Amino acid sequence: MENIKKLHPISITIIIGTLFARMAMFMTIPFLAIYLTSVKGVSASLAGAIIGISSIVGLFGGFFGGYFSDRYGKEKMMKMSLLMWTFVFIGFATAESVWTFFLLNALNGLCRSFFEPSSRALLSQVTKQEHKLLVFNLRYAAINVGAAIGPLVGLKIGASSSTTAFFVTSFVYFLYFILLVTLFSKYTIEKHGDASEHVTFRNAVNVLGNDRVFLFTVIGMILGVTGYSQFNSTIPQYLSQYKDGVQLFSYLIVFNAITVLVVQYPVSRIGKHYSALTSIMLGIGAVALGLFGFGLFTAVPMLFVSMFVLTVGEVMMFSMIEIFIDQISPQHMKGLYFGSMGFTAIGNAAGPWIGGLMLEHLGYGNHLLIFTLLALCTSIGFPVLLYVGRLMKATKRHIEYSL
């Protein structure tokens, strides 16, 4: 608690804002597909395309969002994104045509890909070195709490059948916008020596293209995310073959959320006592081991053990990747590096597809083979990141600070 009191007011505001913004987002977006099919009469395939366009835009938008935050200022990008988000969710509430929903969810993905790199870069900028682990872990916890509470609130207010939740989400984003405008006018954010206007587009592309440490970090994380994405795709499909499989998966979701909150602090000590990169590598290994457990065991208690191992891996990966990127990125290019990590979403897109193909062609009865192959695919990320560590030593890559 004492350390939290030492944080910059902007850091505290962004963390609290992240909690409520994610909660508001998860009040609506998880129910959007149901709303489109049941209320608007959209076909299941078209609803899937509308949902998917947000991720596709976000995949490529992160690079540009990060670049613009370095070029034109993180505060401007955050305020612009929140204001646009406000109107996007008003649009969801009032839209009638299919293509309007398609456009709105594309804009939703664009807002996220512009806001997220800017907010993370600003957190890094206003936070003292000794508090960065705490700040990024609090942000990760806020995301998970928001994601856990949001769907429950959305269910209560009928997000799958009415427009109320869209208006509530819009209102939350507008309040967040007003709060940041007030805060930025009160606190002057110190600029670093390398002025943001010196970040040209060509320079940004060249820096990322030549940064092998960053490139192989992204590749390693894509493999890790590919494995973790099975939790939302292949695992529920596989468990649907169980008696009361849907109920079982619901319990696993709750168990996952509780485990994240319980293990986050002790797991973060690994990154502090060793390194952020070591934590990410061990996290990928744990995710792979958890996937293997789902293939090896059929008894329900052991499935929960496998879920625990996978969740620990999730925390070790995702709570430390932002710290590692912050450590290796130049001060005046924080937004660009954070934004370009959006390319790891390739794993979120490829993972469910790969898992689905395996279930379709190998059959649900071959679960040991399927999850073993998925675990092996994921575990390749470990040697890739091991190479990142060796590459950093060989090139004497400077890390801005140690945890």
Euclidean distance between CA atoms 342 and 361, whole angstroms: 30
Euclidean distance between CA atoms 297 and 142, whole angstroms: 33
For helices 300-328 and 245-273, the axis angle rounded to 10 degrees is: 40
* 169 secondary structure, DSSP code: H
Euclidean distance between CA atoms 167 and 24, whole angstroms: 10
Residue showing tokens 């992204």: 218
Contacts of 358 (CB under 8 A, 6+ apart): 234, 370, 373, 374
Q: Which two tokens stand for residue 47?
A: 């609803």
Tens digit of pLDDT at every position of the chain (403 positions):
566 777 889 999 999 999 999 999 888 887 787 788 888 888 877 887 888 788 788 888 888 899 899 888 899 999 999 999 999 999 999 998 889 999 999 999 999 999 999 999 999 999 888 888 889 989 988 988 888 888 888 888 877 777 888 999 999 999 999 999 999 998 877 665 444 445 667 777 787 788 999 999 999 999 999 999 888 778 888 888 887 887 888 788 878 888 988 888 888 777 778 889 999 999 999 999 999 999 999 999 999 999 999 999 999 999 899 999 999 988 888 898 999 988 888 888 788 888 888 988 888 889 999 999 999 999 999 999 999 999 999 988 878 777 6
Euclidean distance between CA atoms 110 and 91, whole angstroms: 15
Euclidean distance between CA atoms 165 and 103, whole angstroms: 19
Burial class (CB in 10 A: 0-12, 13-18, 19+), 251: middle
Q: CA dist 182 to 10, 75, 94, 296, 339, Å?
A: 11, 12, 29, 54, 25
pLDDT at 403: 65
pLDDT at 196: 44
Q: How many CA atoms are closer than 13 Å to the CA of 369, on its beta-carbon side?
A: 10
pLDDT at 218: 94
